Structure 1
Amino acid sequence: MPRFAPRRIPLPRAFLPLRHGVFRSLWLATLASNIGGWMQNTGAGWLMTSLDPSPMMVSLVQAASMLPVFLLALPAGALADIIDRRLFLIGAQAWILAMALILTALTMTGNIGAWGLLALTFAIGAGSAMNFPAWAATTNELVPREDLVGAIALNGIGFNLARALGPAIGGFAIAWAGPEAAFALNAVAFLVLILALLLWKRREAPGGGPKEHLVSAMRAGLRFVSASPAMRAAILRACTFFLFSAAVWGLLPLFVRQQLGLGPQAFGLMLGVMGGSAVAAGFALPALRGRLDRSGMVLWASLIGAVSMALLAVAQHWALAALGMLLYGASWIAAGSTLAAAAQLAAPGWVRARAIAIYQLSFFGVMAAGAALAGWLGGRFGVPLALGAAAVGAAIAAVLVRRWRIDSVAVAQTPATVAAIPQPEAPADELRPVLGERSGRVLEVVRYRIDPAERAAFLAAMQEVRRVRLRSGAEDWRLCEDVAHPERWVELWAVASWTEHLREAARLTDSDHAALARAAALHRGEPPEAARFIQVEP
């Protein structure tokens, strides 16, 4: 009889990133750790109600878990860029595991107090804050570019699954064996993630010039973001979306209690509807991406989010409120995963973790501000009016910022265009001993000869050159025109040291090279002259 090979069932498009074994194992392990994290939060909040049941102390549990994000996001991103990312992630998980074990032991022995619980909650939150930008920047290494957006959406799906499952499992664990059971299960979950990271054989990253120090790495990350239109657009679009949509997070408990007149079960139901909708929308996103670009996806998600908040503003029955939360969950995952993908694609490997950290810091900040503003409006004018104002603001803001596009455009690069970039002479032998981290500022100069008829084209090309120099490390940049000879131009920029100059050259991407080549192509005559000077104190 003829033998037939078993037919392989193709994966749904939303699951395609799981084809890649390392991403699959780390995604599953991260899902387990996220579930453990939500169990930890549930156990800590419940334990605080017995240690010190005052509303202030109970609310400080959540604050202690989130505050480290504001304090540590940027240094965490810088560290994840300048040391081996796999080892950094293992170290962060090991820290969380150690703190979780200490918390478990102290709770089991009855030696934990209210302030000790807050301190250990803060310590666990610090480990999570260190983990966030590193894990986000690692996704690019685990899947090819065509699967990146899907992988980020799966990360969002995993987070929402954990948010739905973690508190429920934590509640059962607390009822079964007390808060220490939730803390112990959290430790086990992070142990699983550590094992998955140990099994990951990360490929050696290509050299990116001399190693950076923490402070200079943070400065370089801030300069990159400020000079990157794509990153600025992603941050702006994220801030406008999360500022207004945070109203739901800030007002949902009051909305359920006061506007619907329902109890905690309805509150849990609303959160479950939102989480389930976010998961379902995450599975539908791959099909939608074939019809909408990233900018369009965020625009429509923002408008749907505005509609959802408008429905909540007028809802007096749980069914209409559930519909609003359904739309809200879908808009949240669609906008959040798309914006995260845009931020990751806008940042090259050498700065990716710290750029993502700045992106995360920005939207966490506006979420806190948005929730606080919504709470103030709700207390002064009522929950319906506050939600309605958020809906109107979200719709107006989405339309106003739509021209800041977050779609990256790849620029072709050929060896010929690389060769056209001006190259300075090698340093003189007698000066080599002073060229290093303490050389003082380095002034770099390129002289151009431009046909006056092409002045406008040259100025347009130099606008992008300016951004290239600032993104790659320049502290200052100038373009000067000779008043006696309009065809003569001088480009000047300064970096902190010779070592920083070497890093600058290693940071240039293909699109950066192409931008520099376009400017050099407008030069007439011999190739543009490039030179480097070190600052000397007389």
Structure 2
Amino acid sequence: MSTGSGASSAPAPDPHDTRTALDTPARKNSMFSSLRVRNYRLFFLGQVVSNIGTWMQRIAQDWLVLTLTGSSAAVGITTALQFLPMLLFGLYGGVLADRLRKRPTLFVTQSAMALTAIALAVLTLTGRVEVWHIYVAAFALGLATVVDNPARQAFVSELVGRGQLQNAVSLNSANFQSARLVGPAVAGLLITGVGTGWAFLLNGLSFVAPLAGLMMMRARELHAVERAPRGKGQLREGLRYVSGRPELLWPIVLVGFIGTFAFNFPVYLSAFADDVFQGGAGVYSLFNTLIAVGSVSGALLAARRGTARLRLLILAAMAFGAVEIVAATVPELWMFALLMIPLGLFAMTVNVTTNTSLQMATDPAMRGRVMALYMMVFLGGSPVGAPIVGWITDTYGARVGFAVGGAIAVLAAAVIGLVLARVGGLRLSVCWHGGHPRVRFVPRERQEALAPVA
């Protein structure tokens, strides 16, 4: 890891040491320090506009499908088609992201997304839209994100360098979730006022901002990152790289379970808004907005906190699942709505902690493939999970579906937490400190030293 100007003589921590990742104290950062970098500032501002449009389209797309079909399972199918390309081709997208120059690659992928949104807008505004059109548009958008996601994730390191990487990743998440505060609200107004087609059109036009930002960047100020040469076996090389590093493998497995079963908010929240609380598009937008409030808080706390720790990831994942279980049981709309705030906070903590820990522990030449695998598992799990949770929701009700997703998150976090602790040479220590019980993981040799003498 890079150090500040006052370098210490202490040895640097081994990035492959899981115990270090679990126990190293966090380093404090300025919350917005990476915005001092001009290229990153242009990238950030462009994403602000584009992300608002993206959230508008997400809400409009889900609600349009629900309106046309009346089925939560159809919403799940739409989500599945959007993320199916990531599941099928995600690793190949990572290989391309490691080979290609990031800035021109992003220019192509962002342009493709804009054209997809505009095509869907034309169909909707002319009254010709059918469900299969939305399915095709969702799949086309997914194809573009296969390369766009890993390239955009890896491009951040070229914009800010290693020293500001964690802060920039956290601010990217805060950016995305801040747009979630505005996008759903605007989408709700557009849907109820003039129709879903205008949300699609505005999303298409919003891509002008990131495309302009990419064009205005100064190439000489980008941090040079070694690109992988063209060659055979690069996909297998990426898989071997991850499988041999527990600090990469197990967080990806954890977010795979959570992304597949617990992060299917379009299915769960649309069902709660429509079936449980008999609300409309405004209630659905409200749920998404309140989740965004918590998500922005979680992302900004991550930017302030500094070094991501795997222990925090495990605890946040368990808390996230527990909040889902509680939310599934509450009887009143206002209680459910308020729980969306901590749900968003813990969800974003899981997301940012996983993202930053993976990027910091990965060699630059492998970053595209590692992040592609992460995105493939996290987002690509939806083609498997969305139809399943949609069927559970339609068959047994929204409350059962939400509770099942939360229970899977809690169980996966508990099991993987124990696996990481064992791999890292840690044991669970329960002792009294200041008159209160204290539960934590400690090195095995320390656990033995703390054991009472017979």
Match of 1:232 in 2: 249
Instruction: Show the counterpart of 1:89.
Output: 106
Identify which of 350, 356, 362 aligns with 1:335.
350
User: In the aligned structure 2, how far is the partner of 1:185 from the partner of 1:253?
Assistant: 22
SS of aligned partner of 1:402: helix
What's the CA shift for 1:14?
Answer: 2.7
1:25 match: secondary structure: helix
Instruction: Report 1 or 2 for greater relative contact order, CA contacts < 8 Å, sequence distance ≥ 6.
Output: 2
**Residues 174-183 or 345-354, more deviating:** 174-183
Show the counterpart of 1:306: 321
**Residue type of the partner of 1:361?**
M
Aligned to 1:71: 88
Q: Distance in 2 between matches of 1:120 and 1:330?
A: 30
Trace 1:134-283 onto structure 2 (pairs within 5 A).
134-173=151-190, 179-202=196-219, 203=222, 205=224, 211-213=229-231, 216-243=233-260, 245-246=262-263, 250-257=267-274, 259-260=276-277, 264-283=281-300
Which deviates the most, 251-260 or 317-326?
Answer: 251-260
Does residue 129 in structure 1 map to residue 164 in structure 2? Answer: no
CA displacement at 1:276 relative to structure 2 = 0.8
- Counterpart Cα distance in 2 of 1:266 and 1:172: 12
User: Alpha-carbon deviations, 1:317-370, whole Å to 9, x = none?
Assistant: 234323432221110001110001112122212121121111111122445544
CA distance in 2, matches of 1:192, 1:134: 18
| TM-score, with structure 1 as normaliser | 0.63
Cα displacement (A) at 1:38: 2.9
Contact 1:242–1:367 (8 Å) recurs in 2? yes
Q: Highest CA radius of gyration, 1 or 2?
A: 1
Identity across aligned pairs (percent)? 26
TM-aligned CA deviation for residue 388 of structure 1: 4.1
The Cα offsets for residues 463-508 of structure 1, whole Å up to 9 and x where unpaired, read as xxxxxxxxxxxxxxxxxxxxxxxxxxxxxxxxxxxxxxxxxxxxxx
Distance 1:87 1:310 in 2: 44
- What is the aligned-residue RMSD (CA, Å)? 3.5
The CA distance in 2 between the partners of 1:266 and 1:40, in whole Å, is 17
Query: For structure 1, which segment, 181-190 or 331-340, has the greater mean C-alpha deviation from structure 2 after superposition?
Result: 181-190
Which has more helix, going by share of residues? 2
Aligned length: 391
SS of equivalent residue, structure 1 residue 79: helix
User: What residue identity is the alignment partner of 2:315?
Assistant: W
| Aligned AA (2:146) | A
Look up the SS of the partner of 1:13 in the other structure: coil
Q: Indicate conservation of the 8 Å contact 1:25/1:196, yes or no.
A: yes
**Shift in Å, 1:216:** 3.3
After superposition, the Cα gap between the structure-2 partners of 1:247 and 1:128, relative to the gap in structure 1 and judged at 3 Å, is: closer
Asked if structure 2 preserves the Cα contact closer than 8 Å seen for 1:246 and 1:370, the reply is no
Aligned partners of 1:197, 1:94: CA distance in 2, in Å? Answer: 12
Q: Which moved more, 1:220-229 or 1:249-258?
A: 249-258
Matched, 1:33 2:50: yes
Q: Is the 8 A contact 1:248 1:387 kept in 2?
A: no
Give the drift of 1:241. Answer: 3.9
Structure 1 residue runs without a partner (length 5+)? 1-11, 410-538
Tell me the distance in 2 between the aligned counterparts of 1:49 and 1:254. 9
Cα gap change, 1:297/1:34 in structure 2, threshold over 3 Å: closer, same or farther?
A: same
CA distance in 1, matches of 2:322, 2:111: 43
Does structure 1 residue 297 correspond to structure 2 residue 317?
no
Residue in structure 2 matching 1:396, options 411, 427, 431 = 411
- How many angstroms apart in 2 are the aligned matches of 1:95 and 1:353? 20
